[in-house]
Structure 1
Amino acid sequence: MRNTRALVMMLIAVVLAGGAVLVAARWINGQAASTAGTGKVAVALVDIALGSRLNPDMVRLVDWPANAMPPGAISDPKLLASRVTRASLQRGEPLMEGKLAPPGTQGGLSAVVAEGKRAMTVRVNDVVGVAGFALPGNFVDVLVNTQEDGPRHAGMKDASISKIVLERILVLAIAQEAGRDETKPKVVNAVTLELSPQQAERLDLARSVGTLSLVLRNQADPDPVRTDGATKASLLDARLAAVLPAAAPARPAAPARPRPQPAVREPGDMVEVMRGTAVSFERY
């Protein structure tokens, strides 16, 4: 009886050992197959700021699965010589063509400006700069507060108008910082915006004729908004409409009742005349 139990236990142990060997063999074969399907990819060895010029100490080549190769990944170190980053890179992040400026680009903010665009700096304060929440990488609208041209209407002493003149403008830098990794608000005295040549002209004119304000907008909202601008008259009309109760509808006037007309007597008519208790008839 005891020998039978020992034989059963030995048989179970042999079966389990065989299963473990089979699983281990499959795992080793899988690792060998995956290793055979790998390639080299350049990744950031340290955190790299936007607009930085790459050097060999910043990148290294690592093995990367061939079936998960990032699009645009760079595997040749020669292609990274003196390249400039157009975006911030975290340690271990693969370097791709989309995040690098074209070869020959100089470092600094000029490498970040998109093709056909211009960088322009405007002076702001803690209010105009959206209390420091307008950070690099955000989009803003630009408002100008100025005086309307042309003759003023009767009774209007103030021709001020506030109007959105530019929409969805990319903030490239605040003060002298272009990093886009920070989320903490930072009050600065200057903001650099990315503009087309036509937008740069409009912004320069708006800056010379009035005061500017920035309006932070949703990152995923690309739709333009057309407004007529806000004037003092429209502002007061809106305030009065919100404060004053709605006027009661006028009631229709009741039709006038005809007044009784006195009887017209013809000459020769008899009229009854009462004097005390005496009654007489007289002719007119």
Structure 2
Amino acid sequence: MQSKRALFMLILSVLAGVAAVILAARWMGQQASGERSTVLVATADLDLGQAITAQMLQPVAWPAGALPVGSFNDAKLLEGRVVRASIYKGEPVLEPKLAPEGTKAGLDSVIKPGHRAITVQVNEVVGVAGFLAPGSYVDLLVNIKDDREKAISRVVLERIMVLAVAQEARRPDETKARVVNAVTLEVTPDQAEKIDLARNVGTLSLMLRNQVDIDETATAGITRKELFNDQAPVVAPTPATAPVAQARPPVRRVAPRPAAAAAPKPAAEPASTVEVIRGTQKSSSNF
């Protein structure tokens, strides 16, 4: 009885396997017989501001019903077009990632209409330790003193795209950091005014953010008082040091000297007497 049951299960498994093979073969045949088209993909990484040539493209078979929007199948239509957003090897070349027709190759060709390019001086700290690259997005933080001469730090701009790092608009190896002294950003004229004022009245810092993070975060900034939890830093008073009393020599009392006796006045000299005789009269005068 058990052998019959095992044989039945074996036959059932074989039939299920044959049915799966037949269905898979039929599906593959339908796919092979379906309409196919071609899409041009990049044969290497294409960087910002780079002009496309025929050697950079390769046709790849693609289902006709699932063609990417804005794709191309004729290399002649892409000759001389300028890349506005990075295109990686094997990725289809799409119209939204290209600059308008007639644009010349260069950094200015990748700037969006109504935007400008402004360069900010950075160092190892301000430039996020060299991890910035063309195509990255950053937030700008400024540290200044307000009208009351109180220090305040605040985010002034968010999600600003990096156009170039130093003099290069090509994206280097993403796994390797490179410290530079200048970064070029894509901003609107209003944002350019804010950056120019902020770097002249305070200190700018860049914060690297995720490329898919598009949420804006409104902050009120932070002051030194808030940093210390609304309490001024307490400075322990320095105990006053009492002056050390110096030993004084004993005072020697001196008896006052007796006043000198007044010198005796010299005795008055005796007056001279002169007698005058006039006839019978006699008179005397003292001098």
TM-score band by shorter chain is: 0.5 to 0.7
The structure 2 residue matched to 1:58, chosen from 56, 59, 73, is 56
| Mapping 1:129-208, distance limit 5 Å | 129-149=127-147, 152=148, 159-180=150-171, 182-208=174-200
Match of 2:206 in 1: 214
SS of the residue corresponding to residue 193 of structure 1 reads strand
Q: Which residue of 2 aligns with 1:10?
A: none
Residue identity matched to 1:127: V
Give the aligned residue type for 1:212. L
**Which of residues 199, 210, 226 is equivalent to 2:219?**
226
What CA distance in whole angstroms lies between the structure 2 residues aligned with 1:167 and 1:23? 57
The change in CA–CA distance for 1:66 and 1:103 in structure 2 (over 3 A counts) is: same
8 Å CA contact retained: 1:34, 1:65: no
More off after superposition, 120-129 vs 214-223: 214-223
> Which residue in the other structure is 2:269 paired with?
none
Deviation larger for 195-204 or 42-51: 42-51
Sequence identity percentage:
50
Distance 2:214 2:232 in 1: 32
Q: Give the SS at the match of 1:198.
A: helix
| Structure-2 separation of matches of 1:33 and 1:231 | 65
Shift of 1:31: 4.5
8 Å CA contact 1:145, 1:162 repeated in 2: yes
Deviations 1:78-106 (A, max 9, x none): 32121011223233322111221111112
Paired residues in the alignment total 216
Return the index of the structure with the highest Cα Rg: 2
CA distance in 1, matches of 2:215, 2:27: 51
User: Please, what TM-score do these two structures have when normalized by structure 1?
Assistant: 0.65
8 Å CA contact 2:37–2:63 kept in 1: the answer is yes
Assess, with a 3 A threshold, how the Cα gap between structure 1 residues 30 and 188 changes in structure 2: closer, same or farther.
same
Q: Helix, strand or coil for the counterpart of 1:51? A: coil
1:125 to 123, 126, 142: 123
Q: Which runs of no fewer than 5 residues in structure 2 stay unpaired? A: 1-17, 235-287
Q: CA RMSD in A?
A: 3.2
Structure 1, unaligned stretches of length 5 or more? 1-18, 153-157, 243-284
Q: Contact conserved, 2:85 with 2:135, CA < 8 A, in 1?
A: no
CA 52–163 in structure 1, closer or farther in 2 if over 3 Å, else same: same
After TM superposition, the structure 1 stretch with the greater mean CA deviation from structure 2, 26-35 or 173-182, is: 26-35
Contact 2:135 2:163 in 1 (8 A): yes
Within the candidate set 100, 103, 118, 2:101 is matched to 103
Paired residues of 2:36 and 2:64 also in contact (CA < 8 A): yes
**How far is the alpha carbon of 1:27 from its aligned partner?**
4.7
Pick one of 41, 44, 48 that aligns with 1:43: 41
**3-state SS of the aligned residue for 2:92?**
coil
TM-score norm. by structure 2 comes to: 0.64
What secondary structure does 2:134 align onto? Answer: coil
| Aligned partner letter, 2:84 | R
Q: Does the aligned pair in 1 maintain the 2:225–2:231 contact within 8 Å? A: no
CA distance, structure 2, for counterparts of residue 131 and residue 90 of structure 1: 25
